[in-house]
Amino acid sequence: MTSQLVFPTALASALIIILMSLLGGIATPGYDHTTQFISELGASQAAHEYPVRFLGFLPAGVTLLAFCWFAQRSLPRAPLTDLAFIALAIYAAGYCTAAVFPCDPGCRPSSPSFAQVVHNAVGGIGYLVAPAFLSIFAFQSRSWQAAATLATIGFMAAVVALVGLLTLSHSSPYVGISQRAIEAAVLGWVVACGWYVRVGSGSSAAR
């Protein structure tokens, strides 16, 4: 039963973030995916703040946390793998934090509010550890049954996340692209892992 829920929760978390970003961007006048953070769609006083926060960020975080729970119990157990899932859970918590603690208007205030500080802290930690936990998953999956493709995806995702992290700067005119590179890397691996478990290789190799 646990393994059957891995792919649905993986796919749901990715689709929620994608749809939230696309629909929120379309509905927000002047929004630019290249130059703006995703969090700006749910920032305090944003045009569609509450739908983005509670129909986007919150369910995305909850479903990604559920993925962590189910996947960790469906894949071969190892201390490093468990550590990587803890780091991914921290990343997922960033979405929940964005729902409860929205960033200030524009997400780049000179005098940040308490909500902005919490938002940046939790989200920032998630982005910082993304290349590391993707690398761990990639290395660990090399020993899983029939997981060569998943390992390759993991290494590619880790590189993309690292590039996104190194170019993620408030002053960058392409900060939106950098952030979305990290998001795509993490969620892409999550969906690939969910599919791996779905087709049976993950569950057959589980503890």
Q: Mind listing the pLDDT tens digit for each residue in 122-145?
A: 999 999 999 999 999 999 999 999
Query: Given this model, what pLDDT does residue 30 score?
Result: 93
pLDDT, position 98: 97
Q: What would the mean pLDDT of 112-117 be, rounded to a whole number?
A: 97
pLDDT tens digits, 47-71: 999 999 999 999 999 999 999 999 9
pLDDT in tens, 149-187: 999 999 999 999 999 999 999 889 999 999 999 999 999
Q: How many CB atoms lie within 10 A of CB 52?
A: 27
